Structure formats: C-alpha cells, structure tokens
Amino acid sequence: MQYKNPVIPGFHPDPSICRVGEDYYLVTSSFEYFPGIPLFHSKDLVHWEQIGHCLTRSSQIKLTKGFPNTTGIYAPTIRYNNGRFYVITTNVTYSDEGGNFIVWTDDPYGEWSDPIWVDLPGIDPSLFFDDHGRVYYTGTYHNIFLCEIDITTGKLISERKDIWGGTGGADPEGPHLYKIDGYYYLFISEGGTAQCHMLTAARSKSIDGPYIPCPRNPVLTNRSLPLPIRAVGHADIIQAHNESWWAVCLGIRPVPYPDRHHLGRETFLAPVKWAEDGWPIFGNNGSIDLTMEADCLPEIKYSERSIRDDFDSSKLDFCWNFIYNPDNALWSLGEKKGYLTLRGNEINLDDKETSAWLGRRQEHMECRARTKLNFRLEKDGEEAGLSIFLNCDHHYEIALTRIDNERRIIFRRRIGSLWKVENNIKYDRDEVVFEMNATPNTYSFGYVDERGDLIPVGKGEVHYLSTEVGGKFTGNYIVLYATGNGNKCSNPAYFDWFDYSFS
C-alpha cells in the first residue's frame, strides 16, 4: 500500500507523537506564533486533523518580539501516562521569562494546564516514563543529558548527567528515549537542521548508559541524495495498535536550483522495521520519499480539497494564528456578525510588534487564497489587505489604502532593506475581493472587478521569501491584516470570508 508525504504539510516542524489505544496524537513547534503548539489527531497515521493547541492563553506563555523566526516554542514532546497527556517544550526568549516547562491535560480536546517549570538548561526536552513510576527528562545542552524529575512539580530528583554526545555531527539535539526489548534506545538529531540533518541512534542496558552507537548510523537521513525531500531528522517513533512501528520526522521540500524552501519544515511519516541485531531500519533503508510503500493502517481521512472560512463561528478555526501574543482589542468575530473584524493600530507589517494580523500557514506549493474585504477609509495611510509573509523583513501584499485623499489598490514588496510599491491603481469602492495565486516559483496578486474578472496587480518571486534568503526556522503565512501606518485606523476592516484551495 502507498501513502503520500508530507502527512502534515506546511510549517509543522519537530513532530512528536503518542498513542492511546487506536488513537494517535501529534504536536509540532510553533515559534513566535499564537496559539502555541498545534495538536493533531489521527486514526491511521497518514491523515491528520487539527483538534486544538496546547498553549491557548497568554498566561501560559509570553512570546518574545524582535527576533523573527528564531524565538518562541521549540520542539515539544507529547507523552501519555496513566490517563494523562503531557507536553514538554522550551520557550526561547533570550531572557529570564523563558525556559523549559510542562503542560498537561486529561482531555486533549479541552484546556491544558498552566506551565510547570523545570530548572534545566538547553532546548528540546523530552519525557520518558520508566518502570516503577519514575519519570526521566532528556535534554540538549552541548551534549544529550538525563535526569529524573518529579512530574507534578518539575523538581529534579537526580543530578543532570551527560549520556551521549552523538556520532560527531554538529548540534546533537532532539533526544527521545524508549525502552524496547530490554534496551534503552536513544534517538537524537545531528548535523544541524538544514541539508546535513540526520537521525542517529544508540542503546544501553542501563538508562544512564553507557550508550553504544548503532553501527549503521545515521539511521535516517536524506543528505546528499537526489530526493525531493531534504533536511530529514528530529524523529519520534511509535508502535501502532497492530504492532507495526512508525516514525514521524521533519523535512523540507525545496525548490531547485539552488535548493530553497518557503513552506517551512514539514511533518513526514516513515515505517520502521527492526533488524535481527535489534537496530531499527527507517523508511527506504534509511531515507524517505514523497511516495512510500508500507503496510499502512486502514485509511480514515480528514483532509479536504478546499478550505473556506465564513467567519460565522464565535471562535477562530484552529488553522489561524496571531504573531506574538495577541491584543484582543485589535480583532473580533462578534463585533459584526459573519465578519472577521481587524482594528488597525499604528503597527504595520514591517514592525516587530503586535498588530492587527491574522494568518494561516501556506501548506501547498500550488494554492490560491481569496478574501472579501470591506474597509471605509478616512485618512491617508489607512490600509488593509492580503499578504504572503515570511517575516517583517520579507513579505508581499495587495491592499486597499488611501493616498492623497484617494482610494487606491496597491501591490508592495518588502525584501530585506528593499521596499517598493510596485503598482498603484485608483479604486472607487470600499469593498473588494483580493486573490493570491502561488506556484513553486511565483506569488501573483490581483483583485476581482465588478464583472467578476480577475485584474492582475503584481507578482513576486518565491525565492525572496524563502528560508535560505530571509528566514530561519519557520515557513510562510497567508495573512489578513489592517494598519494605520503610524496612526490608529478610523474604522475597522471587515473581512467577509477567506478561501484557501490547492491542487
């Protein structure tokens, strides 16, 4: 049987997975976006449905501003033990407000607890529930370390001990520990999270080592291979309810040549077999591809070909995010029934501050985004529109604005320190439908005229909005926004609907 990768497309890196009976739950990193830690559910490991987030309250997390694509929530691990779900992660802040912490819930569809802080350094924490109720923490701080903790308080029970430094690759990180057939298996990532990324393995009869490396390391990597998936690593494994073994991992789908990627690091699935010597074999003898042959679980599908939001609900769909902790005065779903309301403040898309900004991940190379906007302009500089956004220094947008006391539709590009309004069209209405079409190489923007025809306004290269040019650890967002460009807007911007479709 075949399945297609990625199983969760778009910016969904550092996947971690757990199983409860015949149900599977998965979390990924979210960096500076809020709510934090998207949570997914599946019955077959191939088709996933987002069921919420683990960090939904600003009281749980304070996100640092000013460091695009590099701060916030890194590499969560999800585990289930005695009826309770635990997620452990790091809030990277470059200040004393961050660190490693645990949240828990008895209902993955409900709210998660406030943070239980763990006073340990580094990133990429993971939990291991051993025999006799003991809980161990593995983390990354120069080497991979281990200590026993109290899961209810986060207090350390034993001293931190380095247990493995990897095989010599750069940046040993992302540890996960398992007990299988009498061995403690330790999987980590090495080589950095770019093209040299790889998964390596070691094992020991004792939890605190010594850990002996697998003779076939790396056990999973696509480095130096002519495959459409690159930068594979940071894996977590699970035994399915039919006793088969699987791994979820991150990877990228670059556009050649030279390789560059803009969707972010995505979630991929690989079958795992165990050799006679007790070491694992991942995927196709240690690599993965877009189409994989495996003995899959029976299909239970969730995915749709088109995603439309009419903003009729009292709550945002799980696909939507804010950048940084939101200011609830800047947005609403109830102010005007059936509309998303954004109240533009002084902050614009170039600023590293909280603004009237709502986005969803671009998840497909070829896709179309459309939205209907109603915005009564009263002052020059007021603006609302549709953007493709890597970060505050790299974005393109089409917008309705006012210039010299006239309504205008503009297309603008920001590429690092370069900034230009590429097109400026007179427009005499408060209502407009904007459209963005994406291909692997181009973003094209336009608006729909009174006859229903799409009027092209501008386009930009995908290359300049790629991680290799302007980003770091995240991917591109499709954004609805409003701004007064230095002043508060006189009136709200009302978005009637949003439509995302892909081929």
pLDDT in tens, 198-223: 999 999 999 999 999 999 999 999 99
Residue 503: per-residue pLDDT: 82
Instruction: Round to whole Å and give the CA distance between 292 and 5.
Output: 8
- Contact indicator for 207, 136 with CB cutoff of 8 Å: yes
- Of these residues, 14, 44, 148, 266, which one is catalytic? 14
Mean pLDDT of 273-291: 97
User: In which band, very low, low, confident or very high, does the pLDDT at 303 lie, cut at 50, 70 and 90?
Assistant: low
Q: Is 22 a catalytic residue?
A: no
The residue assigned the tokens 């007990």 is 179
H helices of 227-309, in order, are none
Mean pLDDT of 154-170: 97
Instruction: Round to whole Å and give the CA distance between 450 and 200.
Output: 59
Q: Could you give the domains of the chain?
A: 2-293 (2.115.10.20), 306-502 (2.60.120.200)
Instruction: Round to whole Å and give the CA distance between 282 and 221.
Output: 9
Mean pLDDT of 401-418: 97
Residue 454: count of CB within 10 angstroms of its CB = 15
Q: Is 173 a catalytic residue?
A: yes
Three-state DSSP state, 99: strand
Tokens in use for 44? 């077959």
User: In which band, very low, low, confident or very high, does the pLDDT at 304 lie, cut at 50, 70 and 90?
Assistant: low
Three-state DSSP state, 469: helix
42-51, 93-102, 493-502, range with the lowest pLDDT: 93-102
Per-residue burial over 256-267, b if 16 or more Cβ lie within 10 Å, else e, is eeeebbbbbbbb
CB within 8 Å of 431: residues ≥ 6 apart: 372, 373, 374
Percentages helix, strand, coil for the chain (3-state, rounded to 5) are 5, 50, 45
Classify residue 86 as exposed, middle or buried by CB count within 10 Å of its CB (0-12, 13-18, 19+): buried
Residue 411: per-residue pLDDT: 98
pTM of the model: 0.97
Mean pLDDT of 235-246: 97
pLDDT in tens, 67-119: 999 999 999 999 999 999 999 999 999 888 899 999 999 999 999 999 999 99
User: In which band, very low, low, confident or very high, does the pLDDT at 176 lie, cut at 50, 70 and 90?
Assistant: very high
Tokens in use for 368? 């179309």
CB within 8 Å of 22: residues ≥ 6 apart: 43, 241
Residue count of the chain, please give it. 503
Q: Does the pLDDT value for residue 305 go beyond 60?
A: no
Residue 95: per-residue pLDDT: 86
Classify residue 366 as exposed, middle or buried by CB count within 10 Å of its CB (0-12, 13-18, 19+): exposed
- Cα-Cα-Cα-Cα torsion 465, 469, 470, 476, nearest 10 degrees, comes to 30
User: What DSSP string describes 343-400?
Assistant: --BS--TTSSS--EEEEEE---SSEEEEEEEEE---STT-EEEEEEEEETTEEEEEEE
User: In which band, very low, low, confident or very high, does the pLDDT at 359 lie, cut at 50, 70 and 90?
Assistant: very high
User: In which band, very low, low, confident or very high, does the pLDDT at 334 lie, cut at 50, 70 and 90?
Assistant: confident
- Of these residues, 32, 124, 173, 397, which one is catalytic? 173
